[in-house]
Structure 1
Amino acid sequence: MNSQSRFADRGEAFRSELDALRAAFPPEHCLPPLGWNAVRDFEREHGIVLPEPYRTLVAEICDGCPEGPADVDGLIPLAALPADWGCAQTQRVLAEPFPLTETWVWEDDTRPYEEIEPLIDEVSNHGSVVLGTDGCGMYWHLVVTGADRGRIWNISDVGAAPFGAAFGHRTEGEGFAGWVAHWAAARRSWFDMVV
């Protein structure tokens, strides 16, 4: 069964997102897709279902692309972490809900660090897959469980903030497709994305 018939019930908007992702990630620049069996195995292993259209991207289009949205490594493979990942001491638990729904700058939090450290650890390691890094401890996450499922978050050493127009960024779309569209439209740094 091809992707057109498999997703016919999702409508033209979904097919349009997939077409845009195929254009943004040409096969000659990307890693091969995992295939549906490998994606389902990953989901079973972690007790999650990846949000669309990222799920279909990894299964049918590519499993990472060095020329992708994140500045340092591009879009990293599904099961990978960036080389500079600083949270290695804690196990990532994708099935635990991502704990935030609004921006949190822990650098400005007045609570003692010992009190907020476990919460910071949850933000970095619960309920998300890491999409890539812009270096200097700045990571892009796709939330896979919790209230913000499907949204993209930027998590750094000073705080965490969601991506999308609703949060003051210069893009109309939220989620993975909006994040990729923002990058693909201008191939520019993320540092100019906040209005």
Structure 2
Amino acid sequence: MEAAEREAGWAGVREEVLALREAPFATRVFGAPKGFGHEFLLEAPLGEAEVAAAEAEFGVRLPSDYRAFLLDVGAGGAGPDYGLFPLRRDEQGWHWSDDHVRGDSALIGRDFLSVEERTRLEKEHDAREPVAADFPDDESYRAAFQAWDDEWERLEPEVTAGAVCLSHEGCGYYTWLVVTGPERGTLWFDGRAADLSLQPLTGDAGRLGFREWYLTWLDRATREAHGR
């Protein structure tokens, strides 16, 4: 079923995804192979009460298309890249399950920074980088540099405040869904592992929302899994 033929909701999408497990070339789809990929598996959908509880804990209302996905398709699993990090609850509360430490749940309700604000934050930190010539010896310079580097470790979560890390592309690259502010509902590529800035994902109609992003992946994965 092509994306243009689907109704506005998510009816039938869970079944489409799960059916790809039996496709002849399923393992050729990036991020799907057994053992380290999503294997076209989906977690069970969440209930309305569960999603509402997570939203109350984070202090946000999730974008409607992603919220409906959690209710109708699954809490996580098969999807773009190596799949969607599942939204789960444990003794520490609600969180997106991830093998990597990405983001701070306490910051999800904060406003997502604009490009200008994010650039200013990074430039102000860069401007404070210690210069070796300003120190009497290597030891004092290294101590100052370490303190400056540690400061960025504390500031870095601010860059993605107001967003949820949804998937891992490999090599330290991630995709984030913005849940607060003017950019709410848009997806952003995180290439900071390669010293790239956070960039919005775009399509033919402009910045991508979750629904278009996911269904575009599903159409491509379906073609590849069937050798088309």
What TM-score results when the alignment is normalised by the length of structure 1?
0.68
- Give runs of ≥4 in structure 1 deviating > 3 Å: 19-28, 108-120, 170-173
Match for 1:178: what amino acid? E
Native 8 Å contact 1:17 1:177 kept in 2 = no
Structure 1 residues 26 and 172, CA gap change in structure 2 (3 angstroms): farther
Q: Describe the superposition over 1:60-106 as per-residue Cα deviations: whole angstroms up to 9, x where unpaired.
A: 220011x31123xx11112224212355xx5541110111357x789
Return the match for 1:93 from 107, 111, 121.
107
Q: CA RMSD in A?
A: 3.5
Counterpart position of 2:158: 122
Counterpart position of 2:226: none
> For the pair shown, which has the larger CA radius of gyration, 1 or 2?
2
What TM-score results when the alignment is normalised by the length of structure 2?
0.60
Do residues 186 (structure 1) and 220 (structure 2) align? yes
Choose between structure 1 and 2 for higher RCO, CA contacts under 8 A separated by at least 6 residues: 2
Do residues 77 (structure 1) and 86 (structure 2) align? yes
Return the match for 1:37 from 49, 52, 58.
49
Do residues 18 (structure 1) and 10 (structure 2) align? yes
Question: When the two structures are aligned, how many residues end up with a matched partner?
Answer: 165
Counterpart position of 2:198: 160
**Structure 1 unmatched ranges of 5 or more:** 1-12, 189-195
**Structure 2 unmatched ranges of 5 or more:** 20-39, 88-94, 130-147, 223-228
What SS is found at the alignment partner of 1:140? strand
